[in-house]
Chains A and B, each alone.
Chain A
């Protein structure tokens, strides 16, 4: 199962400059998937992060995991990748147990693996693991909610 950028744009509403998944290598409906993000020196954030030593901002690596998760979730909602229905944004609700083990630098290809741990009502807990050059560069757990969700006190 491979989804290209065209199919990805049908599944999530993210666009330039914050669409951070280039293709999907695998999707197992309702369970997880593997996405790819190619990092080049032309990424605008490298201008400032950092001028002397370009490294990918950690928050954007978290965003990559969230976007792969959003793709997996949208895909399992439709049951197929029919064009037409642009999926509503899903909200990132919690970020936990995140570790950045190695810097991601220009030229790296990030393999972003996402596993759905638990669905409960509108909430989905997922686990993400990001690899570059066959090494784990980042991992963590996120909670994602449907667009109707507001955190209630």
Chain B
């Protein structure tokens, strides 16, 4: 089991690198929305994010698991 803060740090670093975000990992708030007014990702980038999480953490995210509403990625991975 990874420590939650460590997961969040790695997650943010991976997102900035992989999605070429114009913010630093430290600037991303834990509850920052991914789409719209938050990080402004588009729907294709959500696939990029899924692939990035799988590579970074060695897990498989099933497409059948639908996540509705708000949830925190860091907690999901942990």
- A93 contacts the other chain (CB 8 A): yes
Contact digits for B14-31, partner A, Cβ 8 Å, 1 yes 0 no: 000000000000000000
Chain A residues lying within 8 Å of B48, measured Cβ to Cβ, are 94
Is the CB of B51 closer than 8 A to any CB of chain A? yes
Query: Scoring A residues 109 to 153 as 1 if CB is less than 8 Å from chain B, else 0, what string do you get?
Result: 000000001111101010000000000000000010100011111
User: Of A94, A120, A151, A152, which contacts B50 at CB under 8 A?
Assistant: A120
B63 within 8 A of A: yes
Closest to A96 in B: B48
Q: Please judge, given known A-B contacts A119-B63, A120-B61, A121-B63, whether A153 and B50 are in contact too, CB under 8 Å.
A: no
Residue contact B47 to A123, C-beta cutoff 8 Å: yes
Per-residue A-contact encoding for B32-52, CB less than 8 Å = 1, 0 else: 000110001011101110110
For residue A6, give the distance in angstroms from its CB to the closest CB of chain B.
33
Contact A143 B44 (CB under 8 A): yes
Residue tally, chain B, CB below 8 Å to A: 14
- Sort chain A's interface into a size bin: 10 to 19
Q: Which residues on A sit within 8 Å (CB–CB) of B51? A: 117-118, 125
Residues of A within 8 A of B56 (CB): none
Point out the residues of chain A lying under 8 angstroms from B4, CB to CB: none
Which residue of B35, B50, B54, B61 has the most chain A CB atoms within 10 A of its CB atom? B50
Distance A46 CA – B61 CA, assembled complex (angstroms)? 45
- Within the complex, which residue of B42, B43, B47 is in contact with A118, where a contact is CB–CB below 8 Å? B47
> Are A93 and B63 touching (Cβ within 8 A)?
no
- Give the chain B neighbours of A117 by CB distance below 8 A: 51
Cβ-defined contact, A151 with B63, below 8 A: no
Q: Which 10 A-B pairs have the closest CB atoms?
A: A123-B47, A152-B43, A120-B63, A93-B44, A120-B50, A120-B47, A151-B42, A153-B42, A118-B51, A151-B44
